[in-house]
Chains A and B, each alone.
Chain A
Amino acid sequence: MDQSHIRNFCIIAHIDHGKSTLADRLLERTGTVSRREMAEQLLDSMDLEREKGITIKAAAARMTYAASDGQVYEYNLIDTPGHVDFAYEVSRSLAACEGALLVVDASQGIEAQTLANVYLAMSQDLRLIPVVNKIDLPHAEPERVAHELERVIGFDRDEVIFASAKEGAGIDEILEAIHVRIPRPAGDPNAPLKALIFDSKYDAYKGVVAHVRVFEGAMEGRRSLGLMQTGSTFEPLEYGIFSPQMRPLPALGCGEVGYVATGLKDVAECRVGDTITLASQPAAEPLPGYRQAKPMVFAGIYPTDSDQYQELREALSRLSLNDASLVYEPESSVALGFGFRCGFLGLLHLEIVAERLEREYGLRLLTTAPSVEYEVTTTSAEEIVVDNPAALPDPSKIAEIREPWARIDVITPSRFIGQVMELVTTRRGQFVRMEYLEAESDLAPGEARVMLEYDIPMAEILVDFYDQLKGSTSGYASLDYHVSEYRPANLVKVDILVNGIPVDALSLITHSANAHREGRQLVAKLRDLIPRQMFEVPLQAAVGGRIIARETIRAMRKNVLAKCYGGDITRKRKLLEKQAEGKKRMKRVGNVEIPQEAFMAVLRLRDE
């Protein structure tokens, strides 16, 4: 289609504000998906997305829209995730678009990721269309939210579209606004091909399938293509679009969004952010591409059964194609054997990656407790980065340890300011500034929403900070964060010995003032989480070789099946097999069987 009739846009919002539901209505109203094929949040096609009710992967879809001006437009939509852990999906999607629908829940108003996404979109010069969604809700306050959009982001009052993705209100207005307000894609169709890979996945038959946005030239025919960063070339197997399933087409024109099946089997040859060009007539310069996402949290992923190591390596490489924010490198642990240290954008991301590896690749995995990344200056003036507590040098060799600090934005009704302040300060946070998003005078006392900014150590917000924040603000507060800087800290490593053997994967790094308490709590938690074994198992916590806490797991005394009833051996065996399955999920360290939960015990110290 001619470029003047193409519009590329994404849908961005804070989590749960209704992006995917809005996408449903657009797909439905444009006839892309028939009513019969329609399902709620259709673009959330992954099992995990459906189970958790959130979007994890950005998803593209092409629609054809017959506009009221009598013209037919091609709309390329990308639905994005709202959770902060998947922000990298958003930023990559934005780079393929000229505009975005900014969705805001009419009952919640602007929240932390609303702003974070707005800044991202603005930094890429995208045209935004503000949509106040869920106006059907009884406690919706569309006017108030429209006012907030005006005041905080600077929209004009009449730019704002009121909609209910659930009931279909405002959908026509949105469809019209897209071609009127969002610019057509620029780019010279006759220039050498430049297509940005904004996402990809692996297909057993088609090799790496790259999701692309064509910026210059066009993709067609069988001509060899090349990747400008890796220098690889390939014969394209198939071009196509998402509608929303993959649908082959003979070509992708300038300005269009679609996919190309590269046939490449080596995932390293085709990375997200690379530019595809013609092998015979390459473009002079690649597109800017992406900055690699910066992981915030690190954890070891190990196969429970060491035979699965190679499979895990393969699975990680394939998954990292579809999850460009995942980074990993091999590591080994005395206790766990060979595995990988992986970097994640947050704990949800970690959880999703572990789940996907298990489900999509049939692996049985063990994940170690997450850690942030520390900087260490050794006494010999060497600078090292430590993302695994086990790798922290001996205290005598450490001149200084620095830990990452985050800048966080909390948006909350002003009546909760006290609670937020208290939570943040008990976690070593420091107040930076505060800004009202609404004029207090217009509202009941304590109602006006305010944005609070703090600096706080990353390690403090890693685990349950968000839950506590929600809890102390009756669910009203929202949170956004980014790493700001490293600051020196008085940190020590607590080692854990199980049956006298140090288990590196159970070590934790903590503030020296908390070491005793946390060491005690950790061994107590482990005592409850590690099942009783055939013999007594001592548990110890140590700092620098000195034992600071101990507990004992008493030997198991009874595990016997009752009578072998009427000779039913089969049933008895099945009961034993069930127990055997449980054992297989545990990791043997020395001669002690340790379940996955034990490696996560450190996350639950605050439950006490």
Chain B
Amino acid sequence: MTSLAVYIHIPFCTVKCGYCDFNAYAGMDRLKAGYTRALLLEIEGWREAMAGHDVTSIAFGGGTPGEMPAGDLAAIIGALRSAGTIARDAEIGLEANPGSIGPDHLCQLAAAGVNRISFGAQSFEAGELRFLDRIHSPEAIGVAVANARRAGIASVNLDLIYGLPGQSPARWRWTMVQALAQQPDHLSLYALTVEDGTILARRVQDGSVILPGPDEVADLYELASARLEESGFHQYELSNWARPGHESRHNLTYWSDGDYLGLGAGAHGYIRGERYENVAHPREYIRRLSAQPHSHRAAVAHAYRPSVATAMADWLSLGLRRTAGVDPGAFLARFGSGLYGIFGSVLGECAEAGLVEMSGERTRLTRAGRLLHGEVSVRLLLAVEESGGACPGSLSAILGPQG
């Protein structure tokens, strides 16, 4: 049985944060019931395709899935259970806002099978939370974590954002200390990124927000990295640290070229070599599913098969996000050609600059290379483009609708 991860997108939020360009909408809560019905239809549509797969993880992302009625989430999990085989030890995770999830809700989720919760803590500094438009207070984070523990949720993650305007190393250390004091099992640290079209982008543009430079942000990353290691966390991906045994299996699927379904508005899936994306707007998503219920392609907006060259670059670039790196043998098994035959010279160049190490069984980024994953990946893309110049779609993946 091949394993399969399932991602479910919940596109609703109480407030749209100024830095956020996720597929998330505020003020559309009245669509929630219809949305859940549409998700159930979409799952039904996948029933056949799911047969023969072992679902190893289910992840609710958003938006703010923690604000969905627990009954809806339980129904969705139930539908997945009836549509396919869910591994007994499957990871069932959910993103939640610490300010908007109460103890009862958490208990109901645990009862529905949720065993991993990821709180969008972001910062333990009230001013920073305000800057990020977050609706919770620093104190709410501790309360939420305690409630999750009490509900019996086995794995608790905190998301934190660094590289905020004026964020000194001392202030970031404060957030780290506070976060560690909650004794989470997992931490995800993300550098604040200015995404086109966001309110934050506008404020940076007009000069009302000044973000720290790349070197300062790199310092913050290294500071956190050292701190986490001292505290018994193990870094397994560029932005992710876990206590032993608490690595997120769902995320590992993305980085290990595994298959995953994407369900819901704007969700992305990757199955049997094809990448697809659902329509983004929840209303359109609901409309499509009610027009064409039971079709797993009802909501697909784009789908394409990456060329071999692109697939190779993706494979390597994603794999290098893991601190364990990649196994050249697995590349050979997957593509039928040698990793070094195609990427040898780029990897060599990066190794010379101290960003990559190619030792024994594995090729991975060095500590210094972790912050330069983008630089390495760009070179990988250019390298496949040169070597497999004939492979179209590498630099212009043409996303033709196939739904």
Which positions in A face B, CB cutoff 8 Å?
Answer: 534-535, 554-570, 573-574, 576-577, 579-581, 583-584, 591
Enumerate chain B residues within 8 angstroms of A584, measured Cβ to Cβ: 382
Enumerate chain A residues within 8 angstroms of B277, measured Cβ to Cβ: 568, 570
Interface positions, chain B 266-282, Cβ under 8 Å from A, are 266-270, 275, 277
Enumerate chain B residues within 8 angstroms of A534, measured Cβ to Cβ: 349-350, 353, 355, 372, 375
Contact A564 B255 (CB under 8 A): yes
Q: Which residue on chain A has the smallest CB distance to residue B314?
A: A569
Enumerate chain A residues within 8 angstroms of B254, measured Cβ to Cβ: 564, 567, 569
Contact B314 A566 (CB under 8 A): no
> Which of A554, A564, A566, A583 lies in contact with B318, CB distance below 8 A?
A564
- Give the distance to chain B from A261, nearest Cβ to Cβ, in Å: 37
Which positions in B face A, CB cutoff 8 Å?
Answer: 7, 9, 22, 61, 188, 190-191, 193, 214-215, 217-218, 221, 238-239, 251, 254-255, 260, 262, 266-270, 275, 277, 310, 313-314, 317-318, 321, 349-350, 353-355, 370-375, 377-378, 381-382, 385, 395, 397, 399
Contact B217 A558 (CB under 8 A): yes
Contact A559 B7 (CB under 8 A): no
Known: A568-B268, A569-B270, A570-B275. A560 touches B9 (CB 8 A): no
- Give the distance to chain B from A499, nearest Cβ to Cβ, in Å: 12
Bound complex: CA A557 to CA B219 (Å):
9
Q: Which residue on chain B has the smallest CB distance to residue A566?
A: B61
Contact A573 B397 (CB under 8 A): yes
Enumerate chain B residues within 8 angstroms of A574, measured Cβ to Cβ: 397
Enumerate chain A residues within 8 angstroms of B397, measured Cβ to Cβ: 570, 573-574
Known: A562-B239, A565-B22. A573 touches B381 (CB 8 A): yes
Bound complex: CA A562 to CA B374 (Å):
10
Bound complex: CA A561 to CA B371 (Å):
9
Q: Which residue on chain A has the smallest CB distance to residue B240?
A: A563
Enumerate chain A residues within 8 angstroms of B395, measured Cβ to Cβ: 577, 580-581
Enumerate chain B residues within 8 angstroms of A566, measured Cβ to Cβ: 7, 9, 22, 61, 262, 266-268
Q: List 16 A-B contacts (CB under 8 A).
A: A557-B218, A557-B372, A560-B191, A560-B238, A560-B372, A562-B193, A564-B254, A566-B266, A567-B260, A567-B270, A573-B397, A577-B395, A580-B378, A580-B381, A581-B395, A583-B378
> Which of A559, A562, A568, A581 lies in contact with B190, CB distance below 8 A?
A562
Known: A534-B372, A557-B371, A570-B268. A564 touches B321 (CB 8 A): yes
Apart from A567-B262, A567-B270, list 7 A-B contacts with CB within 8 A. Answer: A535-B353, A559-B374, A567-B267, A568-B277, A579-B374, A580-B385, A591-B349
- Give the distance to chain B from A312, nearest Cβ to Cβ, in Å: 20
Contact B314 A558 (CB under 8 A): no
- Give the distance to chain B from A117, nearest Cβ to Cβ, in Å: 45
Contact A563 B190 (CB under 8 A): yes
- Give the distance to chain B from A537, nearest Cβ to Cβ, in Å: 11
Bound complex: CA A541 to CA B7 (Å):
56
A-B contact count (CB 8 A): 111
Enumerate chain A residues within 8 angstroms of B268, measured Cβ to Cβ: 566-570
Q: Which residue on chain A has the smallest CB distance to residue B276?
A: A570
Enumerate chain A residues within 8 angstroms of B255, measured Cβ to Cβ: 564
- Give the distance to chain B from A23, nearest Cβ to Cβ, in Å: 42
Contact A570 B399 (CB under 8 A): yes
Bound complex: CA A573 to CA B275 (Å):
12
Q: Which residue on chain A has the smallest CB distance to residue B190?
A: A562
Contact B318 A561 (CB under 8 A): no
Enumerate chain B residues within 8 angstroms of A562, measured Cβ to Cβ: 190-191, 193, 239
Enumerate chain A residues within 8 angstroms of B313, measured Cβ to Cβ: 573
Contact A580 B382 (CB under 8 A): yes
Bound complex: CA A568 to CA B239 (Å):
16
Contact B215 A558 (CB under 8 A): yes
Bound complex: CA A560 to CA B218 (Å):
10
Q: Which residue on chain A has the smallest CB distance to residue B317?
A: A576
Contact B372 A567 (CB under 8 A): no
- Give the distance to chain B from A281, nearest Cβ to Cβ, in Å: 55
Known: A564-B255, A576-B381, A577-B395. A559 touches B371 (CB 8 A): yes
Bound complex: CA A562 to CA B160 (Å):
12
> Which of A535, A560, A565 lies in contact with B374, CB distance below 8 A?
A560
Q: Which residue on chain A has the smallest CB distance to residue B261?
A: A567
- Give the distance to chain B from A530, nearest Cβ to Cβ, in Å: 15
Known: A567-B7, A569-B318. A561 touches B270 (CB 8 A): no
Known: A558-B215, A567-B270, A584-B382. A576 touches B310 (CB 8 A): no
Contact B373 A559 (CB under 8 A): yes
> Which of A559, A564, A568, A570 lies in contact with B375, CB distance below 8 A?
A559
Contact B378 A576 (CB under 8 A): yes
Bound complex: CA A580 to CA B370 (Å):
19
Bound complex: CA A496 to CA B267 (Å):
52
Bound complex: CA A606 to CA B221 (Å):
39
- Give the distance to chain A from B273, nearest Cβ to Cβ, in Å: 13
Bound complex: CA A567 to CA B217 (Å):
25
Contact B373 A557 (CB under 8 A): no
- Give the distance to chain A from B19, nearest Cβ to Cβ, in Å: 11
